[in-house]
Every structure is written in structure tokens, then in C-alpha cells.
Structure 1
Amino acid sequence: MVENYWLACEAALIGRDWVRPAFLHICDGRIEQVSSQRPKGQPLVEAGAGLLVPGFIDVQVNGGGGVLLNDNPSLQGLRKIFAAHSQFGTTAMLPTLITDSLESMRSTADAIAEAVATGEPGIIGVHFEGPHMSVAKRGVHSPQYLRSISQAEMAVFARQDLGLKVITVAPEVVSPHQISELVAMGVRVCLGHSNANARQVQAALRAGASGFTHLYNGMSALTSREPGMVGTALADEDSWCGLILDGHHLHPLSAKLAIRAKGMDKIMLVTDAMPPVGTNDAEFSFYGEKVIRSGSKLMAPSGSLAGSVLDMAGAVRYAVKCLDLPLEDALLMASQCPAAFLGIQDSYGSLQVGRRADMLLLDKQLQVQHVWLAGQPWSLEKNNHEYC
């Protein structure tokens, strides 16, 4: 296993600028030096033809590789989910538990704690999407599990062995005082699956909420006299918004509007991925009902979208091809921006001196060719999809 080497590539996105050619000195899993000049007398590894870019960070991953976290909250399940997403450039993720029982929350927390303690590749924390949400905007979240926060759930969120913690709540269900308590526990609070008005959303933001889960989807809309959650999110300068760029959850104009209103630095590309990612599975069970895959769309029996089969590389390609965004912006929304939201931008999210050497090599079609985790090559199984 090579621990100290120079990596040569045609071009690398260093910070926000391209270096052509680029030579990166990798030592003990981090980037020690970046140069445009070939080093002399040093071990040199050729990355191959393509663009070297930061590894992607996905803060909302419900499943992959045939596994739904709710159904398999275990170290083995986490490994399968990450293996499925890593082939599409995800090098760090928050496995996401969809609204479920207290027992499931505890089991998930135990699995995440084990993964964090043992340094399981790619698993940097957990996202609890619910269960403290609005019935009116629940989407496919089961109403039987929707509830207010009790001390039992607070005890789960308070755990300090879970790595990075994100929770999605509705501000009409969770009070500003409770949001402040969560933030004090080290939890990053996102707002979503909510029918809240602007006043309620602003109160939640003042209490410390810092993000919005899959903007537009599962939240009160912007209207002329009531901005709702969508309008308040777009107007707020400090919070981050997740976008699902799969061609189904958002109209391209809505996505463009969000990026223009918030600025690229406050937008995170997320997948909201379900078990079929990385497989050819045509269906899976969710809350005991069958979800059907039709191309790149997942439909619940109710007719609602049930997450996605999106991967991060596909989201980046969509941003470039369908939203006409510069490649640099699309890449940063998949890496540096989620790192900033999570507060780990000093270690993750960009190819700069001192950062982890989590890297990808993309070809001209922006397909992932190679992945490095902390400077070490990561094996891939190619199974690419298009969304635009």
C-alpha cells in the first residue's frame, strides 16, 4: 500500500481553479503539496486521462446496493450502501434513516457508532429524516411513525459517538426551544416535510436551524402573500439548501432559480437515494408496500415520488447539461458546499494542501473512472445512468 507518492494528472480542480497539468504529493492520506511542475526524483503515479476533482459528499442517502437503511441498520448494510454509491464518486456520506420507530432509530445509531468508531470508509455520520414532521407534507413517510420529540428521541440525538449529526424536522412540530437544544447537542438541524408559514420558518432559523432538506419537495410553497418554507429558504442568506437533480423532483427552472437566489455556495447536491442505486432492481419494499422503478423514477403506490435512483455523478452531469452550469460550480456543489454545511471544510471537500486526499478522476463525459479514499485507490463497479 503506497503511503507517500506523487499523483500526476492532466488537470485538477484545486480549490476553485484548474491546474494544468497537476502533480499532487499525497502523504498519509492527505495532500501535502500541489504543483504544475513535474517533481524530479520522486515516485510518480499516473492518474490517467481525465479531470481530477474532489470526492463527492452526500448528506442524504437512504439506501443503495439493494439495501434500505431502515430495513438493515447494521455495519454490513452501511458497507453495501457506501459500496454502491462510491462507484459514482461519493467518498463521504450521511446514511439517512427515513421516519421510523424509536427502536429503528436506536439500531441505526448503534450501527453508525460502530462504523465511526472503526473508521468504516465513507461513513462520517447520520441523517435522521424525521420522524418529527408534518402530516400534511409527509410525502411517502409513514403517518404511523410521525410524532413530536420525546426525551427518548432527544437521548438518541444527544449521542456523541455518531460522528456528524443531521436531523430534518418541521418547525410547526418542533419548537424553537427544541431546535436550540438540538443545536447545542451538536446536531445540524434542517427544515423540511413541513407546511410551516414564513414566521415559523424564520423562528426556526433564529433558533439555529441551518439547512433545508430537498428544497421545494415536501414543503409549503412560495405565494404572493405567504412566502412559505420555499420562499423563506430562498430569501435567507445563511442557510444551505439541498437539491435533488434527477429530472423528476424539480423543474430545471426551479433549480436554476434556487441556485441564482441562494448562490452556488449555499446549494448542496443530494441524491435522496433508495436501494436500487447501483443495481438493476426494478422494485423494492418500503413500509411494506412495493415501490416501482420506471427508468430513473421511483413511484410509491400512492403515486408519489419515493426517493430517487440518482447518484452524485449523475447530479453533477445534470447540473452541467440541463442547467447550463459551469463544471466547476457543479463540482463544488457536490463537494465543497456540503463540506461547509457540515463544518468539515478544513479536511474534506476540496483538493488543497492539508485536506484529505478523497479524489475522483472523471472522463470527458463526466463519468467516474477512478476513486481514491484518503489517497488509496478504491475499486469500482461501473454502472452509470443518465438523468437528462
Structure 2
Amino acid sequence: MFIKSKYIVLEDRVLENGALEIENGKIKNIIENSSNLKDCIDYKNSIIAPGFVDTHVHGFSGHDIMDKDAEGLKIICEDIVKIGVTSFLPTTLTSSTENLNQAVKVVGENKNCNGAKIRGIFLEGPFFTIKHKGAQNPSYFSEPNIDKLKKWQELSGGIIKKIAIAPELNGTEEFVKEARKIGVYVALGHSDATYEEAKAAVDAGASIFVHTYNGMSPLHHRKPGMVGAALTLKDVYAELICDGHHVHPAAADVVMKCRGYDSVALITDCMMAGGMPEGDYKLGDFDVKVADGTARLESGSLAGSILRLKDGVKNVINWGIASPFEALQMASLVPAKSVGIDDVCGKIDIDRDADLVVLDSNYDLEAVYLDGNLLK
């Protein structure tokens, strides 16, 4: 099978008027000039890009990872692939050790669901501090415990890829070093850390800032804080939720200008109300009201998002802060690199799974391919 379009987004460039040959679910060949191809699917002026990689997803379609329900997990996988997410990290919330034990076990035992491919688990918590708790339950906060992480890794079947912690907690640096030894990337968030505390964690091996600006000590000209660290430290990645509610477009532009698009990961932080009507939902132990494009606690605080990653891509293009190439990389290759899964997803290349999205000239989703099969 051959598919072609005006633009194909490769790892380092945009191929114009090229084509992809797909065989047995893989990309067999990248054709530089498609003008002589007769028998192919022609997407004309559209963009063929890698399937989206969302490394921060709590739920979708009325289901949450913390439901600890295999059927719900399967529905999440089946439904988010329809909106272009072909690979993702199911994401937990701060909860009891017992709940987290069961949640990671369920994901590990059902990691081969149909639909979006589960590439690992993201543990968001429970090693956080109260001031920037967001929609995390402080009743379960504790200091970093490497034995707990090792147990969760064992229960998951070894698929935990990322854990978020607050770097001002005691024992952070040793925890980071030990987590990296067992293949877990350490992210920093829900924290009131100083710039110096964040830097010390990064020096120890932490490499991701969770939903930059949200849930962290802000930038001040004499106290750079977590935001200052996210903007300036080398060899780290900054997550961004680009729904227009979590971060002002100009503030998102600051991150992209400071970091460069190649170290900014677009994520959704989507909760169970993603893809659902407005109304009342839950995020962990908390009641959430979904209205006017946001999910909020009774206090008014944001509680995750209902963002679809394809809309985050469209937003940053329409805001004029990223080119289509940059936006698509920030939703595929960059997040994949941030957690070391770019060997299996995030880019179009020969012998890779043919997990693809097609966007029309308005950057709306036109088609999704998973293992070379057209889904939409």
C-alpha cells in the first residue's frame, strides 16, 4: 500500500510531494517523489505525520486509570487512538500505596490492549508537597521511597517509565539516582522548590518538568523557582498543556523560545471527562465540574484537562508560536524522547510501525493509521 500527500513530517525535515510504502504494518519505504505513483491513497494537500505520543493521560471516555479496571483501560485505548494518539503513558494520581499497587498491576497485565499502544506508566505522585498540590490528594503525600517505586515497577511487569516528585523533599537526590538505575525517568512537579533545589534534582538525573507553570513555584526575578529552572536548565524537557486555559499562549511562547521546540513536550493531562459531555466527574477522590472547556474542583482550581492532543497541536500553530513541523514534533518525537521510547514511536522511518496521523489544511484530523490500518 502507498499513501502520499503534499507534506510528510520526517524526523529532521518535511518531505514535499513524497509517499510512504506500507507493508505488514510497517513503513517499508519513504519515496522522495510520488509523481509517478499510480495506485495509491492520495491525501493531496494534507500533512502525514507520526501518530501522537501523549506521555501524561489520566483517563478518557468516562474512565480513569485509577479506576483499576481492565475494561475501562481498554476503552481508553480504543477511544484515544481515534483522536490521533497512537502511543501513550497511562498516568496515575496520588493515592494510597494499595490503590497504586493495584492500578499499576492492572495496566501491566493489560498493556497489549487494542487501540493506542501502552508504552509504559507515568506515576504522578505520591511524592509531592502541599503548597502546589493541585488536584492531588495531600492525605497520601510522602517523602520519596525507592522501595515503593521498585515494588510498583515489579507489580507493573517493569513498564513504569516516569515518576513525578517534588524536589525539595528529603532524600530526593538519592531517589533520583536509584530511579534512573531501574530505568525510570524522574519528572519534577507539584512543588514549591527553589531554583537551587530543582537544579540539584536535575544534576542527580531528573529530566522533565511536569505541566510547566502549573503546580510549581513561579518565576520571580530574585527567586527563579521551578519555572525558572524549567526555562533555563540544560538537557531537560518541559511539558506544556496548550488548551488556552492552563497556560496563556504568550507564556507557552516563552517556554518554546527559552527551551527550543525540541525539548518541549505537548501533553494533555486529560482526565476521564475527555471526549465526554459537560457535567460532573471524578478525578481520584475529588469531585470535578466540566464546563466551558475546563475541568475544575469545587475550589475553582483546574483538575487536569479535557484537551485532545490534536487540538493542542492546532492551538500552538494558530497562536503563531510554532510552525506545523515544530508543533507536530512536540506532540510525537519530543515526548517520546523524554521518556526513552523514541525507538518504538514518535517518528516516521523505515521499518517503524506505520502509526500515522493525517491533518488537513486547517490542521484538523483527517485520518489515523495504526499498524498501517486506516482507523478514521
TM range (shorter): over 0.9
Deviates more, 1:177-186 or 1:149-158: 149-158
SS at match of 1:21: strand
Q: Is the 8 A contact 1:198 1:229 kept in 2?
A: yes
Structure 1 residues 219-228 or 262-271, which shifts more? Answer: 219-228
What amino acid is the match of 1:25? E
Q: Does 1:307 align with 2:304?
A: yes
Deviates more, 1:232-241 or 1:340-349: 340-349
**Alignment partner of 1:55 is 2:16:** no
Matches within 5 A, 1:1-388: 5-38=1-34, 44-47=40-43, 50-70=46-66, 72-116=67-111, 121-150=116-145, 151-157=147-153, 161-173=157-169, 174-378=171-375, 380=376
How far is 1:242 from its partner? 0.2
- Number of residue pairs aligned between Structure 1 and Structure 2: 374
Deviation at 1:176, TM superposition (A): 0.3
Q: Distance in 1 between matches of 2:96 and 2:317?
A: 39
Long gaps (5+) in structure 2 = none
Q: Secondary structure at the match of 1:93?
A: strand
What is the root-mean-square deviation in Å for CA atoms of aligned residues?
A: 2.1
> d(CA) in 2 for partners of 1:147 and 1:135?
10
Q: After superposition, give the CA deviation of every residue in 1:136-177 in whole Å (9 maximum; x if it has no partner).
A: 111111111111234334311355724351111011225200
Aligned pair in 2 of structure 1 residues 50, 41: CA closer, same or farther (>3 Å)?
closer
Tell me which moved more, 368-377 or 109-118. Answer: 109-118
SS in 1 for 2:366: strand
Question: Residue 232 of structure 1 aligns to a residue in which SS?
Answer: helix
Is the Cα–Cα contact under 8 Å of residues 81 and 116 in structure 2 kept in the other structure?
Answer: no
The percent identity for this pair of structures is: 30
Using the size of structure 1 for normalisation, the TM-score is 0.90
1:121 deviates by 4.0
Q: 1:143 to 1:41 in 2, by over 3 A?
A: closer
Answer with 35-44 or 22-31: which moved more: 35-44
Return the letter of the residue paired with 2:289.
I
* Structure 1 stretch displaced more, 10-19 or 114-123: 114-123
In structure 1, what is the Cα distance between the partners aligned to 2:52 and 2:104?
23
Mapped partners of 2:275, 2:205: distance in 1: 36
Partners in 2 of 1:270 and 1:38 — Cα distance? 33
Q: Cα 1:306–1:222, aligned 2, differ >3 Å: closer, same or farther? A: same
Q: Secondary structure of 2:89's match?
A: strand
Residue 303 of structure 1 aligns to a residue whose secondary structure is coil
Consecutive unaligned residues in structure 1, runs of 5 or more: 381-388
Partner letter of residue 12 of structure 1? I
Provide the TM-score with structure 2 as the length reference: 0.93
Q: What amino acid does structure 2 have at the position aligned with 1:141?
A: Q
Inter-CA distance 107–43: structure 2 relative to 1 (3 Å threshold) = farther
1:58–1:338 contact (8 Å) kept in structure 2: yes
Query: Which AA in structure 1 matches 2:132?
Result: K
Structure 1 residue 39 displacement after superposition: 8.8
* 2:117 aligned partner, one-letter code: G
